[in-house]
Amino acid sequence: MFEIFGIPSQALFGQLLIGLINGSFYALLSLGLAVIFGMLNIINFTHGAQYMMGAFVAYLLLQHIGANYWWALILAPIAVGLTGIVMERLFLQHLYKLDHLYGLLLTFGIALIIEGVFRNYYGSSGQPYQVPALLQGGRNLGFMFLPNYRAWVIVFSLVVCISTWFVIERTRLGSYLRAATENPALVRAFGINVPRMITLTYGFGVGLAALAGVMAAPIYNVSPLMGSDLIVVVFAVVVIGGMGSIMGAIVTGFALGVIEGLTKVFFPEASNTVIFVIMAIVLLIRPSGLFGRAA
């Protein structure tokens, strides 16, 4: 066994893998944000709250109608996505023509309200949610013990990320979407219902947040604060990747998970600031982000 900077290589492989797993949450969340920003030009600060709602819907489904994790994986994104659609119709659609700041303030305010309501009913220390029976336990990889659930998280989120990228960048539907953001009037002239498409896109982005929430429920506590803890980091990921860039969000999400994981080994005290240091450096060198196009 060899050593890297005084850390046994086996331990380091373990940390890399864990970094990738955490990165998959960053990727899923920043993907939703990137889709929403790219298509709607809205900086969706409610994203963290919607992620939290996803986890809570999973918890409530289990508590009240006994629907297990797998049902939650399907139902929670739909339910939370629907609330997103209502929110878009009621509020957001009036903001597209205004400055980004209005959307940011509105979504931030809504996030605070949602979190406040959940905190009022469920307290701040959270609710238990067990790992589904099928994915309990784990396997010894030689260099680390990998819980089955974490393996599932990484595989599933990769699949979701890549299919989302594929739909938006490589299919006809995706090309309509991209065209609609570039020039809505022209796309409408071809007989496509642009407002409805935008609404559904927001619903989809919100659904992605809720999906990440369901996946997080068995690992982290289902707590009203889980979203606000994460959202700031995820925004940093999106800024580093380049606002609105789908591939940028995915790659940066995974990469920053790994970097954060390594920081936890070499300088654990700095593990929650390292991402912001990177963000500052990227903004200095490439203000439009690593994958963003210069405005």
Which residues lie below 8 Å from residue 274, measured CB to CB, with a gap of 6+?
Answer: 259, 260, 263
Cβ distance to other proteins smaller for residue 7 or 74: 7
Angle at 7 between CA 6 and CA 8, to 5 degrees: 115
* Interacting residues with other proteins between 4 and 33 (CB under 8 A): 8, 11, 14-15, 18-19, 21-22
Task: Determine if 47 is a binding residue for other proteins (CB under 8 A).
Answer: no
Residue from 271, 286, 288, 290 that binds other proteins (CB under 8 A)?
271
Listed residue (268, 31, 15) closest to 141, CA to CA: 15
Residue 48 interacting with other proteins (CB under 8 A)? no
153 binds other proteins (CB under 8 A): no
Q: Which is nearer to other proteins, 127 or 288 (CB)?
A: 127
Q: Give the C-alpha separation, 34 to 26, whole Å.
A: 12
Nearest-approach distance from CB 197 to other proteins, in angstroms? 34
Q: Which parts of 228-247 interact with other proteins (CB under 8 A)? A: 229-230
Residue 27: name the closest of 124, 195, 153, 182 by CA: 153
Kindly determine how many residues on this chain lie close enough to bind other proteins according to the rule CB under 8 A: 42
Residues 92-131 that bind other proteins (CB under 8 A): 119, 121, 123-128, 130-131
In three-state secondary structure terms, 218 is coil
* 68 part of the interface to other proteins, by CB under 8 A: no
Q: In sequence order, which residues have a C-beta less than 8 Å from that of residue 269 and are 6 or more positions away?
A: none
224 vs 175: CA distance, rounded Å? 37
Closest distance to other proteins from the beta carbon of 137 (Å): 8
Q: Kindly state the helix (H) or strand (E) to which residue 226 belongs, with its residue range.
A: helix 226-241
Stretch of residues binding other proteins (CB under 8 A), selected from 147-155, 177-185, 198-206, 275-283: 147-155
User: Cα-atom radius of gyration of the chain, to the nearest Å?
Assistant: 19
Instruction: Indicate whether 58 belongs to the interface with other proteins (CB under 8 A).
Output: no
- Position 133 contacts other proteins (CB under 8 A): no
Cα distance between residue 29 and residue 52, in whole Å: 11
Q: Which residues bind other proteins (CB under 8 A)?
A: 8, 11, 14-15, 18-19, 21-22, 119, 121, 123-128, 130-131, 137-138, 144-145, 147, 149-150, 218-221, 223, 225-226, 229-230, 261, 264-265, 268-269, 271-273
